[in-house]
Structure 1
Amino acid sequence: MPFPRSSGILLHPTSFPSRFGVGELGLEAYRFVDFLTESKQQFWQILPLGPTGYGNSPYMCFSAMAGNPLLISPEKLRDDGLLNEEDFANLPEFPADKVDYELAIKTKIPLLQKACENFKTKASEFLQKEFAGFCQSKAYWLDDYALFMTFLDTHEGASWHTWSPELAKREPGTMDQLGRRLNAEIIFHKFVQFQFFRQWSELKRYANMRGIQIIGDIPIYVAHNSADVWANPQIFCLDEETGEPALMAGVPPDYFSETGQLWGNPVYNWEELQKDNFHWWVQRFQSMLDYVDIIRVDHFRGFESFWAVKQGEETAMYGEWVDAPGTALFEVVKEKLGNLPIVAEDLGVITPEVEALRDRFKFPGMKILQFAFGSDPGNPYLPFNYDRNCLAYTGTHDNDTTVGWFDKLSDEEKNSVLRYLGCTSADGIHWDLIRLVLSSVANQVITPLQDILGLGTQARMNTPGIGEGNWEWRYRWDALRWEDREFLKTLTEIYGRAPMPV
């Protein structure tokens, strides 16, 4: 569905300032929403919010439907009477500009465990009933998730396919026995999800009341070591003997990597998914709509055909394209859930067939300004080649910041950008490029907060193909400056992207 002319900011919540070492859904999140409203923005793109494992990437989560416990605000738990200010004494000294995930986990998980114990004895009857209602309404994913995380903890994080055969294959007797023995741990994981969604729902309501809609991501694939694969092995291409991915997901060589990207996720067994009318995917879209307003489908092209790499390969160079039933899937989703507010991440190797799938359902595609320069006037990422029904970005979480990107260009490439912009100097290049994308015909424009702040490569969020050191950037308490807010507001109004008066 096309969206009205508007704009917004891209920021993952882990990037908020916090005295607990990682961004969370507390006061700073509300201050950021206020910044969006005051600068006349209408969207906040959050990226996935799931519980992360190795590498801390929200695109490789332990669940496609659960929330990240690290995003829970201990201060809001304190306000609910589940923690005391004394519980926050002697907090470690966290880095101000990045997330130290190991230290944040060591600090926050014990606080969540204490809050859970207090909840059992101190929570009001109303809150207890709210928790019970949450567990019942989310049971279709929550039960498997809580079991999976409990068993994962008892196996010190080892992948489910290395567990005992009875547990890996979910033998009912073994599951029941362990479930009864580990009931307290299972309740803890359910409590954490209850608190996550309670805090997130409150924040989303505040954002919506202030005129901000949330754009959230559905990564097309899920992590192999996840509740989704463990609980639904039949819908993934797995080795029947070992449980490992028989066919792995990725993309062939592209802009980001000469050897392609081998993600390691198992690809879907689409034939099996079609047998029950894509029930798992319908549930997944429905769960997303419970906490976002618009869904950005990551790696959209994988719904038309996907790159499959056989087990044992170490790069993505030697794979093959396999057809996927995207049309059938989205017809079912439309039938079950209505016209979905979906954005298609259609970057990379895009064929006419992928474009036809996108356009059949009128999903907006994406345009990245950093891809626009260095070729001929037919480059589809040059603003004069945009269609209106698209989201235009200066860059995404996978790109360098605009300042970092520009600084790395050759002198010839820099001059080409400046000639296009009509500039004689690179001073304030981030604002020049933000102005350019805001002035385009694209219905929606999204700008990473790092570009609003004019930050360099040190603020980059993710480098595809690099497993460590990503998803760590945080901004400081005083970063949301009045002058940036006012200038962004002015540009937004000039180019007709401010909210219409009621």
Structure 2
Amino acid sequence: MLMRASGILMHISSLPNCYGIGKLGKEARSFADFLKSSGQRYWQILPISPTSYGDSPYQSFSVFAGNPYFIDFESLESEGLLKPSDYKKIKWGEDPCRVDYGLMYKKVFGVLKKAYAAFDGNTDKDYLSFMEKNAGWVKDYGLFMALKSAHGGRAWYEWEEPLKMFEYKAIADAREKYSDEISFWCFVQYEYSKQWGRLKQYANSLGIEIIGDIPIYVAYDSVEVWTKPRYFLLDENKTPVDVAGCPPDVFSVKGQLWGNPLYRWDVMETENFRWWIDRIRAAVQTYDVVRIDHFRGFESYYAIPYDREDAVVGEWRKGPDMKLFREVKKQLGNCRIIAEDLGFITPKVARLLKSSGFPGMKVLQFAFAPDGKSNYLPHNYKNSNNICYTGTHDNETAAGWVRSAGRKELKFCRDYLNVRRNKDIPWGMIRAAWASVSDTAIAQMQDFLELDSSARMNTPSTLGGNWQWRASEDMFTDGLAERIYGITKLYDRLGEQ
């Protein structure tokens, strides 16, 4: 990411349409067109894995699977797998600008099962090729989802002991008993893969590259932990010993208890980090650029005893550091990776980032302490090897930040951005990001639209009400595209366009 360029952060779920959640069809292509006309090089999204309890894309049933909610029904109709009446008569929610995940769970899979009933996998050569290419994960994922369905959605660690412990005979019997349901889930991933491939190809044809996002940890209720417990810090009953999170800080007095199982890095190292290599290989094949969340956890990570209700009690432990990324380079070459280096950054974490060569992140919403000494202020950037964001999916929208910031902070911000009114701060932040020395500048779509806190994507350490914001079609106007193009040209971020 060496040329000066810029992009927009908006998840697939936030795309507009009539079906309750963003899809991979024509609206996604229309947004790629908007990016092109706006002079943008990058479309950044959140993890596209299936969401589980809490609806977070950072807590998924699988690190390799795609989210079935994003499968475009109209594309399935064009393949002859659906009729209009199969999905157009369904009421997909009360508010077109909010995702109702409970409704998605109740309605989407019924439509996909109708498409599956019309599909003949035995004669589809592309399907057979997909199954062969993805044999390392897709059948286990299909089994996991089939068993989850058979158990009323319960987590794998609540199943009967032989299935919970992945005993050979129980698993063989389950593969036979639920063979059709397993095939359904494999079909879902095949259709998702096709549609994702078409969207990425279209975006790339416009000169748009997609920045994808992978969480550092995986969910406890995931196919990976169920089938490969040796890689995770579990006891003999497959119960976590310690779990992931962040210690208390100025943003959270009790810290953040994520609850994800921790890795057995010693075991992974004996296998030359094969599991991580496979994961990163899949990510760089799926996206053009990969953002790795919580990058500091590779240097050292915070471990919290499993039975705790918050993150106050915990300890830092040493991670794999550069050993992992030297192996990544050895096996995969120079991957295009962004390191999410936010949080408690020690000199050792800074050395890891420098040694990796990956660009880190600068977030302007963290920059405006009145003393003017923040490392997030653009004039304090020591080099251009970073991505300057107005805010991330975990931050307020820029307009929401204005409403929550203190008086002294706002005065310093107005002075720094050279704007007179608080209402001008969102676009002032965008200009500051685009004017910065950073190789890449990115803003949330909500910031270009000057939307308030109701459009915030996620509030960390809260459950419910997150990941729901959606755009409406009338937001992506020619006038807005021209305005974005104007500042992108002004600050020499058009790249090769």
Per the normalisation by structure 1, the TM-score is 0.97
Give, in whole Å, the separation in 2 of the partners of 1:410 and 1:180: 62
Shift of 1:255: 4.2
Shift of 1:500: 2.4
Structure 1 stretch 97-106 or stretch 263-272: which is displaced more? 97-106
Shift of 1:159: 1.4
Per the normalisation by structure 2, the TM-score is 0.98
Q: Could you tell me whether the CA contact under 8 Å between 2:3 and 2:495 is conserved in 1?
A: no
Q: Could you tell me whether the CA contact under 8 Å between 2:370 and 2:412 is conserved in 1?
A: no
SS in 2 for 1:249: strand
Question: 2:112 aligns to what?
Answer: 112
* 1:211-250 paired onto structure 2 within 5 Å: 211-241=207-237, 243-250=238-245
Q: Could you tell me whether the CA contact under 8 Å between 2:284 and 2:335 is conserved in 1?
A: no
Counterpart among 481, 489, 493 of residue 493 in structure 1: 489
Structure 1 stretch 129-138 or stretch 150-159: which is displaced more? 150-159
In structure 2, relative to structure 1, the CA distance for the partners of 1:153 and 1:37 (3 Å cut) is: same
1:99 and 2:96 are equivalent in the alignment: no
Give, in whole Å, the separation in 2 of the partners of 1:147 and 1:268: 24
1:193 and 2:189 are equivalent in the alignment: yes
Q: Deviations over 1:198-241 (max 9, x none)?
A: 10010000001100111111100000000010011010001223
Question: 2:54 aligns to what?
Answer: 55
Give, in whole Å, the separation in 2 of the partners of 1:87 and 1:307: 48
Shift of 1:445: 0.6
Shift of 1:21: 0.5
Q: Could you tell me whether the CA contact under 8 Å between 1:20 and 1:104 is conserved in 2?
A: no
**Uncovered stretches (5+) of structure 1, i.e. residues with no partner:** none
SS in 1 for 2:43: strand
Question: 1:23 aligns to what?
Answer: 22
Shift of 1:481: 1.6
Identity between Structure 1 and Structure 2 (%):
44
CA RMSD of aligned residues (A): 1.2
Q: Which amino acid aligns with 1:280?
A: W
Q: Could you tell me whether the CA contact under 8 Å between 2:370 and 2:409 is conserved in 1?
A: no
Structure 1 stretch 214-223 or stretch 252-261: which is displaced more? 252-261
Q: Could you tell me whether the CA contact under 8 Å between 1:366 and 1:391 is conserved in 2?
A: yes
Moved over 4 A (4+): none
Counterpart among 156, 160, 167 of residue 156 in structure 2: 160
1:478 and 2:474 are equivalent in the alignment: yes
Question: 2:405 aligns to what?
Answer: 409
Q: Could you tell me whether the CA contact under 8 Å between 1:44 and 1:214 is conserved in 2?
A: yes
Give, in whole Å, the separation in 2 of the partners of 1:376 and 1:414: 12
Give, in whole Å, the separation in 2 of the partners of 1:86 and 1:472: 26
* 1:97-496 paired onto structure 2 within 5 Å: 97-120=97-120, 125=123, 128-241=124-237, 243-386=238-381, 387-496=383-492
Q: Could you tell me whether the CA contact under 8 Å between 1:256 and 1:464 is conserved in 2?
A: no
Shift of 1:89: 4.0
Q: Deviations over 1:15-35 (max 9, x none)?
A: 011211111101110010000
Q: Could you tell me whether the CA contact under 8 Å between 2:86 and 2:114 is conserved in 1?
A: no
Q: Which amino acid aligns with 1:190?
A: C
Give, in whole Å, the separation in 2 of the partners of 1:180 and 1:19: 38
In structure 2, relative to structure 1, the CA distance for the partners of 1:168 and 1:6 (3 Å cut) is: same
Shift of 1:278: 0.6
Give, in whole Å, the separation in 1 of the partners of 2:302 and 2:122: 51
Give, in whole Å, the separation in 2 of the partners of 1:184 and 1:255: 51
Q: Deviations over 1:178-203 (max 9, x none)?
A: 11111000000000000111100100
Q: Could you tell me whether the CA contact under 8 Å between 1:13 and 1:24 is conserved in 2?
A: yes
SS in 1 for 2:132: helix
**Uncovered stretches (5+) of structure 2, i.e. residues with no partner:** none
Give, in whole Å, the separation in 2 of the partners of 1:300 and 1:288: 16
Give, in whole Å, the separation in 1 of the partners of 2:477 and 2:427: 15
SS in 2 for 1:289: helix
Question: 2:86 aligns to what?
Answer: 87
Structure 1 stretch 249-258 or stretch 295-304: which is displaced more? 249-258
Structure 1 stretch 250-259 or stretch 179-188: which is displaced more? 250-259
Question: 1:70 aligns to what?
Answer: 69
Q: Which amino acid aligns with 1:101?
A: Y
Shift of 1:67: 0.4
Aligned residues: 495
Q: Which amino acid aligns with 1:348?
A: G
Q: Which amino acid aligns with 1:118?
A: A
Give, in whole Å, the separation in 2 of the partners of 1:270 and 1:73: 39
Give, in whole Å, the separation in 2 of the partners of 1:295 and 1:93: 32
In structure 2, relative to structure 1, the CA distance for the partners of 1:196 and 1:93 (3 Å cut) is: closer
Q: Could you tell me whether the CA contact under 8 Å between 1:20 and 1:107 is conserved in 2?
A: no
In structure 2, relative to structure 1, the CA distance for the partners of 1:333 and 1:372 (3 Å cut) is: same
Q: Could you tell me whether the CA contact under 8 Å between 1:304 and 1:357 is conserved in 2?
A: yes
Structure 1 stretch 152-161 or stretch 423-432: which is displaced more? 423-432
Give, in whole Å, the separation in 1 of the partners of 2:345 and 2:317: 14
Q: Could you tell me whether the CA contact under 8 Å between 2:385 and 2:439 is conserved in 1?
A: yes
Shift of 1:429: 2.2
Give, in whole Å, the separation in 2 of the partners of 1:226 and 1:117: 27
Structure 1 stretch 35-44 or stretch 161-170: which is displaced more? 161-170
Q: Which amino acid aligns with 2:58?
A: Y
In structure 2, relative to structure 1, the CA distance for the partners of 1:124 and 1:37 (3 Å cut) is: farther
SS in 2 for 1:392: strand
Give, in whole Å, the separation in 1 of the partners of 2:463 and 2:87: 32
SS in 2 for 1:140: coil
Give, in whole Å, the separation in 1 of the partners of 2:412 and 2:420: 11
Shift of 1:275: 1.4
In structure 2, relative to structure 1, the CA distance for the partners of 1:182 and 1:93 (3 Å cut) is: closer
